[in-house]
């Protein structure tokens, strides 16, 4: 596979270490496809890449309207990249509505490439423009490239036996070709992909090829562009990579976990944004023995998972905030009967229906406390789309080893965002299996001395017939008990069992100096923005480190010691201060929260500025 | 849903083609079948030649209304208060169907008019007007701007417009 | 992978002899704590008596209950049991059958547990034809919480929560079950022990969604709810004991019957030109549920109350269909290769 590009003349070549491009258009403009193809090529070239699609909020919207705009942001670099970028350097807007909704994020001086053919009177009206922004001077602070993409594309496709509508569908390849030229990307991977995917429609395949090459050639021959950009490949660890979204990784993680546990995966769930894709993915893995069950409601979903766990399967259910709220009584039943179960919460903006497609980190306290009585459950939270895989296995490991439900907190940003993921080899993955109990005599609530887990005696095992349920149990025998001292004892035992997990999880590590002026501590999807901000601060000479919790309950045993090694602790969260509240309550440390609840990930600059303010008060 | 780009047979309603990733969101919504249809959904009523509105007060008699219609050669009058507030619309059909045995001088326009009529704006499309007339069974629609009636579009106006397009 | 016995439990009296289980094997060591005189004692006894008949190994029998007096039953059966949360037992049962289809799963519930909070789950577990046997103890009251009205309480019922009488019309549970497409629907009575045992026995043998309503007397909070027609000396005249393939005859003297008048059932006296030939013949396995539905509407005093099996049809069960899809997928795509799955889609390699 070659990454050769065509020779250039009279063009400046500027080397950059990072570029962020946003593609935006109507659904007919094919921006998701363009974004995905650009991502593939860039990843194959060797850059580190982070992407975030921006889907329309409506299921369907009229063509050219504002709610119909679809976007795709990609950030790529020659070094490690952690976020899809604060703002784009380049905005490719295929129609007025796309321009309208996105131009506000383009900084002054940014490049704006527009399909001028789409700026008709009607389209301008649909986008709410009184006058044409391309001609009325309102875009003068940007570097505007006014290109009749539709016309040029149609010209390149002349002679092909296609309708005008089909011709227009290829213009996204024209735009793609142009961007490839601009950023010195090879067309080879996309050309091969076109050949493969359009084998059934050779005319369209030919059209796409021509469009791609025409866009590339346009960049070459036009006088418009004086500079192309070169972003050298990054130094990624050796291995085989693929692009993966958080939801894909979550689904694959649990398939792997079931294989590693030697049990069938039974998944009970109910469709809810943004978790439905997990159900769709798992439903397609039947040849792995995965049994998916689309229940009649959220409670039936977790009920079926509990029944499956009772029967000895690796049981899983997933939802988002409102669904998790519905599951709380059943989750508490799982706590009382001490059966292994993983509950995935792909968090979204709330409260109530909230903003279903927007991200938030608002369910941490619900995961910790949202059930009647003291009801401790382990809580894990992956930090990146790729980590969604390994933490699925970790959640299953804890559930099985400690005979407890585990809450796995993801969010909409992780779920839909993508990054390159080094595919782990099967040999690298842990054996998380535990054996079913078969010995007699059998006491349902006798405990393993180390883990405090009770034995797992599965129906179908001769001689171990017993009853479990939601009523309080006597220690060891598991009979129903109303004894006051027993209840106190069992409350403590259940809490102890979960607390003891702290000895079984990795220590909290700080990226940067091991002690200093400021620690930025986060959890979940804020990882990328915090890491980027920290590295920039470090580069400027500040004494700052970044630590990131993947286990929220219990926290690693050294957490307090790490926090106390820094003069101040900043906790950025997309909520009103839930981790902050836990840290204060547990460790009596006056952490400072950075709380923005806008339904969007943090910008690197927001965290950097907040850190600088805190550091400024300290002195350098 | 067959992908218009690569021909792959996707499940109904998916947003992106499973095979080639093409965005299907614009492919499965109702679209105009011909350029003529498309035109009708886009051309605003303001572009269609229509009559300046003639108005009459609700208290006027039907006899007076008929006289005005006859003089101006129109089949429909706006019924407005003195201040310009639109109260209804009076068409030939209203007179024919609702007068009954009563004498023209004895019946007020207000008794026979269609109160609170369906109205449209000048930037609503020709297609919307055709649809309203077909569904509602009437042939005249007042156009309003900022609460004030600025014209009446009749079925005949629309036929003339369509003829103009088709004959081209 | 989980240890499965591969397929449906072996249900036949022959197997029962081989395994040699008795009623005693199903009695647990827990002291039974229902109120003296409760109808639940009888239901428990008949359940324990009928278990050995199926030839299912004891360790493959599971009882799942919800919340209510009926919820206590699993503790008194010496099998695997799960006393779960209010209304949700059918959901656990569905998941359990997915994990291990060879288990024989009974769901014990009450009129509140199944038709109030659990209504949605009854609807769906029945329509999915999940192979579970739901036995609903209908005492037309909420007993455990000390006497509130239930979805089957009569209109105007005076209780602690409805001192002026209820303002809610009740439902007919068997009509609900039939509307929910349950593949086995039956009714019996707590005091008619032979009939109850026979009904539970037939229920146990059915593969598919089973719904059995047991008219149960709560002597503390709703005594005598059914006495008018279940009392020993009147029950033959006031109940219709359904027999598959037989004309609908009832009465101590077998002298009354049910015939169709237009779209309605009608009670007739045999003799005077009316013979058994004029009567409706019961067919449990009628493909369409019209007859069964009509039977579910009949109630004393307008009609004798039908008991026995109203409907029994065979359809592929939920777990059979799920297992079928799994094996189809394995046949078509080969058993899952995890390494290949992880590396699916576009990959690239970074070396050095």
pLDDT of C8 over the 70 cut = no
Q: How far apart are CA C70 and CA C73, in angstroms?
A: 6
Of A240, A264, A468, the CB nearest to C349: A240
Enter the DSSP assignment of A145. Answer: E
Q: Which 3 state secondary structure label does DSSP give C71?
A: helix
C350:A303 CB<8 A: no
Using the Cβ of B128 and the Cβ atoms of chain A, whether some distance falls under 8 Å is answered with: no
pLDDT tens per residue across span C11-55? 555 554 456 788 888 888 887 789 998 999 999 999 999 999 999
Cα–Cα distances (Å) from A272 to A134, A180, A283, A379, A385, in that order, read 41, 37, 15, 21, 19
Using the Cβ of B41 and the Cβ atoms of chain A, whether some distance falls under 8 Å is answered with: no
The tokens for B20 are 């080639």
Give the pLDDT of residue C11. Answer: 57
Q: How far apart are CA C309 and CA C212, in angstroms?
A: 9
Q: Fold for domain C13-225+316-342?
A: Rossmann fold (3.40.50)
Cα–Cα distances (Å) from C174 to C105, C114, C316, in that order, read 20, 12, 22
Which positions in chain C touch A459 (Cβ < 8 Å)? 59-60, 62, 80, 96, 100, 103
How many Cβ pairs closer than 8 A exist between chain A and C? 224
Give the pLDDT of residue A568. Answer: 97
Q: How far apart are CA C206 and CA C200, in angstroms?
A: 10
**What is the nearest CA distance from C352 to chain A, expressed in angstroms?**
6
Which positions in chain C touch A268 (Cβ < 8 Å)? 91, 95
Using the Cβ of A70 and the Cβ atoms of chain B, whether some distance falls under 8 Å is answered with: yes
Which positions in chain C touch A44 (Cβ < 8 Å)? 346, 348
CA dihedral C160, C162, C165, C166 (to 10 degrees): -130
Q: How far apart are CA C136 and CA C110, in angstroms?
A: 5
Mean pLDDT of A448-466: 96
Q: Which 3 state secondary structure label does DSSP give C216?
A: coil
Using the Cβ of A394 and the Cβ atoms of chain B, whether some distance falls under 8 Å is answered with: no
Rounded to 5 degrees, what are φ and ψ at B61? -85, 165
Instruction: Please answer whether residues B114 and B98 qualify as being in contact, where contact means their C-beta atoms are separated by less than 8 angstroms.
Output: no
* Cβ under 8 Å to A: C residues 255-294: none
**What is the nearest CA distance from A261 to chain C, expressed in angstroms?**
9
Rounded to 5 degrees, what are φ and ψ at B23? -75, 120
Q: How far apart are CA A538 and CA A516, in angstroms?
A: 11
Is A595 exposed, middle or buried (CB count within 10 Å of its CB: 0-12, 13-18, 19+)? middle
Give the pLDDT of residue A291. Answer: 98
Mean pLDDT of A215-235: 91
Mean pLDDT of chain C: 92
Model confidence at C7, in pLDDT bands (50, 70, 90)?
very low
pLDDT tens per residue across span A43-87? 888 899 999 988 887 888 888 889 999 999 999 999 889 999 999
Using the Cβ of A16 and the Cβ atoms of chain C, whether some distance falls under 8 Å is answered with: no
Structural domains for chain A: 12-230 (3.40.920.10), 242-428 (3.40.50.970), 510-615 (3.40.50.920)
Enter the DSSP assignment of A540. Answer: T
Of B20, B26, B28, the CB nearest to A198: B20
For A33, name the nearest residue in chain B, comparing CA atoms only: B21
Cα–Cα distances (Å) from A516 to A456, A507, A513, A519, A546, in that order, read 47, 19, 6, 8, 11
Which positions in chain A touch C114 (Cβ < 8 Å)? none
Using the Cβ of A528 and the Cβ atoms of chain B, whether some distance falls under 8 Å is answered with: no
Mean pLDDT of C152-157: 96
Give the relative orientation of helices A202-221 and A188-197 as an angle to the nearest 10 degrees.
160
CA dihedral A265, A397, A580, A578 (to 10 degrees): 20
pLDDT of A482 over the 60 cut = yes
Q: Which 3 state secondary structure label does DSSP give A494?
A: helix
Give the pLDDT of residue A553. Answer: 97
For C78, name the nearest residue in chain A, comparing CA atoms only: A465
User: H or E segment at C82?
Assistant: strand C80-83
**What is the nearest CA distance from A19 to chain B, expressed in angstroms?**
24
pLDDT tens per residue across span A540-573? 999 999 999 999 999 999 999 999 999 999 999 9
* Cβ under 8 Å to C: A residues 288-327: 288-289, 291, 293, 295-297, 299-313, 315
The tokens for A108 are 């002054």
Using the Cβ of A201 and the Cβ atoms of chain B, whether some distance falls under 8 Å is answered with: yes
**What is the nearest CA distance from C83 to chain A, expressed in angstroms?**
4
Give the pLDDT of residue A19. Answer: 95
* Cβ under 8 Å to A: C residues 91-150: 91-100, 102-103, 120-121, 123-124
pLDDT of A4 over the 90 cut = no
Of A295, A313, A463, the CB nearest to C2: A313
Using the Cβ of B165 and the Cβ atoms of chain A, whether some distance falls under 8 Å is answered with: no
pLDDT tens per residue across span A295-325? 999 999 999 999 999 999 999 999 999 999 9
Instruction: Please answer whether residues A35 and A46 qualify as being in contact, where contact means their C-beta atoms are separated by less than 8 angstroms.
Output: no
* Start-to-end CA span in chain C (Å): 39
Of A285, A308, A424, the CB nearest to C95: A308
> Is chain B in touch with chain C: ≥3 Cβ pairs within 8 A?
no
Work out whether strand C104-110 and strand C80-83 pair parallel, antiparallel, or are unpaired.
unpaired
Report the percentage of chain A scoring pLDDT > 70.
98
**For chain B, which residues score pLDDT lower than 50?**
none
Work out whether strand A592-595 and strand A566-573 pair parallel, antiparallel, or are unpaired.
parallel
Name subunits touching B (3+ CB pairs < 8 A): A
Which positions in chain A touch B42 (Cβ < 8 Å)? 122
Of C95, C100, C348, the CB nearest to A43: C348
Name subunits touching C (3+ CB pairs < 8 A): A
Give the relative orientation of helices C318-333 and C89-99 as an angle to the nearest 10 degrees.
30
Using the Cβ of C346 and the Cβ atoms of chain A, whether some distance falls under 8 Å is answered with: yes
A201:B23 CB<8 A: no
Instruction: Please answer whether residues A103 and A72 qualify as being in contact, where contact means their C-beta atoms are separated by less than 8 angstroms.
Output: no
Q: Write the ipTM.
A: 0.92
Using the Cβ of A30 and the Cβ atoms of chain B, whether some distance falls under 8 Å is answered with: yes
B23:A68 CB<8 A: no
The tokens for A455 are 């034995």
Provide the CA A617 distance to its chain's centre, in angstroms. Answer: 34
Q: How far apart are CA C266 and CA C274, in angstroms?
A: 12
Which positions in chain C touch A242 (Cβ < 8 Å)? 342-348
A204:B42 CB<8 A: no
pLDDT of A333 over the 80 cut = yes
Interface test with C, best of A47, A262, A307 (most C CBs within 10 A): A307
Q: How far apart are CA A534 and CA C164, in angstroms?
A: 69
pLDDT tens per residue across span C322-351? 999 999 999 999 999 999 999 998 888 888
Which positions in chain C touch A425 (Cβ < 8 Å)? 339
Which positions in chain B touch A198 (Cβ < 8 Å)? 5-6, 20
CA nearest A519: which of A506, A534, A532? A534
Q: How far apart are CA C307 and CA C290, in angstroms?
A: 17
For C58, name the nearest residue in chain A, comparing CA atoms only: A462
H/E/C letters for each residue in A235-272?
CCCCEEEEEEEHHHHHHHHHHHHHHHHCCCEEEEECCC
Tell me how crowded residue C194 is: count the other CB atoms within 10 A of its CB.
Answer: 9
B5:A28 CB<8 A: no
Instruction: Tell me the longest C-alpha to C-alpha distance in chain A.
Output: 88
Interface test with C, best of A1, A304, A427 (most C CBs within 10 A): A304
Alpha helices (H) along B30-79: 35-42, 62-72
Cα–Cα distances (Å) from A386 to A91, A424, A428, A523, in that order, read 27, 11, 15, 15
Give the pLDDT of residue A1. Answer: 38
Mean pLDDT of chain A: 94
């Amino acid at each position: 596979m070659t990454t050769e590009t065509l020779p250039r003349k009279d063009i400046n070549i500027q080397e950059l270490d990072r570029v962020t491009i946003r593609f935006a258009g109507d659904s007919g403009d094919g921006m998701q496809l363009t974004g995905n193809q650009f991502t593939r090529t860039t990843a194959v070239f060797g850059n580190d890449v982070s992407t975030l699609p921006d889907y329309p909020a409506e299921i369907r919207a009229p063509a050219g309207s504002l709610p119909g705009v679809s976007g795709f942001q990609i950030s790529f670099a020659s070094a490690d990249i952690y976020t899809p970028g604060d703002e784009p350097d380049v905005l490719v807007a295929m129609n007025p509505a796309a321009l309208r909704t996105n131009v506000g994020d383009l900084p002054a001086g940014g490049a704006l490439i527009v399909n001028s053919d789409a700026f008709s009177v009607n389209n301008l009206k649909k986008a709410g423009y009184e006058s044409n922004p391309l001609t009325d001077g309102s875009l003068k602070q940007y570097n505007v490239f006014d290109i009749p993409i539709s016309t040029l594309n149609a010209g390149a496709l002349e002679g092909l036996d296609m309708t005008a509508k089909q011709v227009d569908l290829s213009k996204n390849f024209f735009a793609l070709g142009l961007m490839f030229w601009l950023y010195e990307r090879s067309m080879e991977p996309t050309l091969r992909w076109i050949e493969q995917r359009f084998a059934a429609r050779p005319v369209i395949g030919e059209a796409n090829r021509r469009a791609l090459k025409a866009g590339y050639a346009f960049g070459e021959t036009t006088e418009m562009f004086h500079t192309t950009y070169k972003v050298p490949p990054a130094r990624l660890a050796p291995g085989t990579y693929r692009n993966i979204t958080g939801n894909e990784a979550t689904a694959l993680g649990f398939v792997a976990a079931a294989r590693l546990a030697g049990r069938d995966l039974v998944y009970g769930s109910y469709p809810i944004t943004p978790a439905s894709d997990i159900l769709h993915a798992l439903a397609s893995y039947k040849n792995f023995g995965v049994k998916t069950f689309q229940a009649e409601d959220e409670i039936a979903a977790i009920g079926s998972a509990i029944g499956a766990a009772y029967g000895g399967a690796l049981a899983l259910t997933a939802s988002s905030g409102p669904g998790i709220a519905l599951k709380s009584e059943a989750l508490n039943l799982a706590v009382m009967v001490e059966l292994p179960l993983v509950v995935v919460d792909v968090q979204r903006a709330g409260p109530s229906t909230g903003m279903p497609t927007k991200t938030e980190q608002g369910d941490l306290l619900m995961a910790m406390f949202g059930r009647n009585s003291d009801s401790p459950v382990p809580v894990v939270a992956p930090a990146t789309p790729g980590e969604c895989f390994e933490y699925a296995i970790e959640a299953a490991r804890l559930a099985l080893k400690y005979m407890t439900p585990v809450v796995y907190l993801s969010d909409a940003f992780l779920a839909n965002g993508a990054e390159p993921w080094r595919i782990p080899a099967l040999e690298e993955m842990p054996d998380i299996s535990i054996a079913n109990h078969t010995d007699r005599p059998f006491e349902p609530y006798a405990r393993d001395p180390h883990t405090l887990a009770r034995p797992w005696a599965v129906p179908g095992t001769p001689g171990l017939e017993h009853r479990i349920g939601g009523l309080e149990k006597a220690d060891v025998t598991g009979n129903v008990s109303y004894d006051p001292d027993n209840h106190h004892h069992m409350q403590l035992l259940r809490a102890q069992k979960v607390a003891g997990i702290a000895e079984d999880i990795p220590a909290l590590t700080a990226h940067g100096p091991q002690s200093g002026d400021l620690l930025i501590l986060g959890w979940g999807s804020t990882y990328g923005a915090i890491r980027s901000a920290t590295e920039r601060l470090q580069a400027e000479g500040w004494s700052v480190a970044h630590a990131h919790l993947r286990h929220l309950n219990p926290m690693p045993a050294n957490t307090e010691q790490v926090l106390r090694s820094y003069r101040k602790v900043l906790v950025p969260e997309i909520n009103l201060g839930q981790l902050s509240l836990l840290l204060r309550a547990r460790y009596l440390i006056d952490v400072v929260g950075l709380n923005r609840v806008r339904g969007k990930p943090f910008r690197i600059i927001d965290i950097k500025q907040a850190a600088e303010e805190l550091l400024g008060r300290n002195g350098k | 849903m067959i992908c218009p780009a690569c021909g792959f047979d996707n499940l109904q309603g998916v947003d992106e083609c499973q095979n080639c990733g093409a965005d299907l969101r614009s492919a499965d919504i109702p679209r105009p079948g011909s350029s003529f249809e498309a035109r009708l959904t886009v051309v605003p009523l303001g572009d269609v030649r229509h009559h300046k509105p003639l108005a009459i007060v609700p208290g006027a008699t039907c006899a007076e209304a008929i006289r005005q219609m006859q003089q101006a050669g129109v089949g429909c009058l706006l019924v407005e208060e003195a201040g310009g507030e639109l109260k209804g619309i009076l068409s030939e059909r209203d007179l024919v169907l609702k007068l009954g045995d009563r004498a023209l001088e004895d019946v007020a326009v207000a008794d026979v008019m269609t109160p609170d009529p369906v109205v449209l704006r000048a930037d609503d499309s020709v297609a919307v007007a055709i649809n309203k007339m077909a569904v509602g069974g009437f042939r005249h629609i007042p156009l309003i701007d900022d609460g004030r009636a600025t014209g009446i579009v009749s079925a005949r106006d629309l036929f003339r417009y369509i003829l103009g397009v088709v004959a081209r | 992978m989980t240890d499965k016995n591969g397929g449906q439990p072996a249900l036949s009296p022959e197997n029962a002899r081989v395994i040699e289980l008795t009623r005693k094997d199903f009695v647990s060591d827990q002291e039974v704590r229902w109120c003296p005189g409760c109808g639940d004692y009888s239901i428990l006894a008949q359940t324990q008596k009928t278990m050995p008949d199926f030839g299912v190994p004891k360790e493959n029998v599971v009882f799942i209950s919800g919340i209510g007096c009926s919820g206590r039953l699993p503790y008194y059966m010496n099998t695997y049991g799960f006393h779960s949360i209010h209304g949700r037992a059918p959901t656990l049962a569905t998941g359990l059958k997915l994990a291990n289809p060879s288990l024989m799963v009974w769901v014990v519930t009450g009129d509140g547990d199944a038709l109030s909070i659990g209504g949605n789950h009854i609807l769906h577990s029945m329509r999915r034809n999940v192979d579970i046997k739901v036995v609903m103890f209908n005492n037309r009251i909420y007993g455990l919480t000390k006497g509130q009205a239930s979805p089957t309480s009569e209109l105007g019922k005076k209780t602690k929560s409805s001192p002026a009488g209820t303002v809610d019309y009740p439902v007919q549970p068997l009509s609900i079950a039939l509307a929910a497409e349950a593949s086995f629907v039956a009714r019996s009575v707590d005091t008619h022990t032979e009939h109850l045992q026979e009904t539970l026995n037939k229920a146990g043998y059915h593969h598919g969604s089973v719904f059995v309503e047991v008219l149960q007397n709560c002597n503390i909070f709703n005594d005598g709810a059914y006495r008018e027609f279940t009392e020993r000396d009147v029950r033959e005249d006031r109940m219709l004991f359904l027999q598959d393939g037989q004309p609908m005859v009832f009465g101590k003297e077998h002298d009354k019957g049910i015939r169709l008048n237009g779209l309605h059932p009608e009670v007739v006296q045999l003799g005077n030109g009316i013979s058994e030939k004029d009567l409706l013949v019961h067919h449990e396995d009628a493909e369409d549920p019209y007859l069964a539905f009509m039977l579910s509407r009949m109630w004393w005093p307008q009609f004798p109350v039908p008991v026995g099996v109203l409907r029994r049809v065979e359809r592929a069960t939920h777990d059979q269909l799920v297992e079928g899809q799994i094996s189809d997928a394995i046949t078509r795509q080969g058993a899952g290769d995890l390494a290949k799955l992880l590396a699916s889609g576009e990959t690239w390699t970074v070396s050095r």
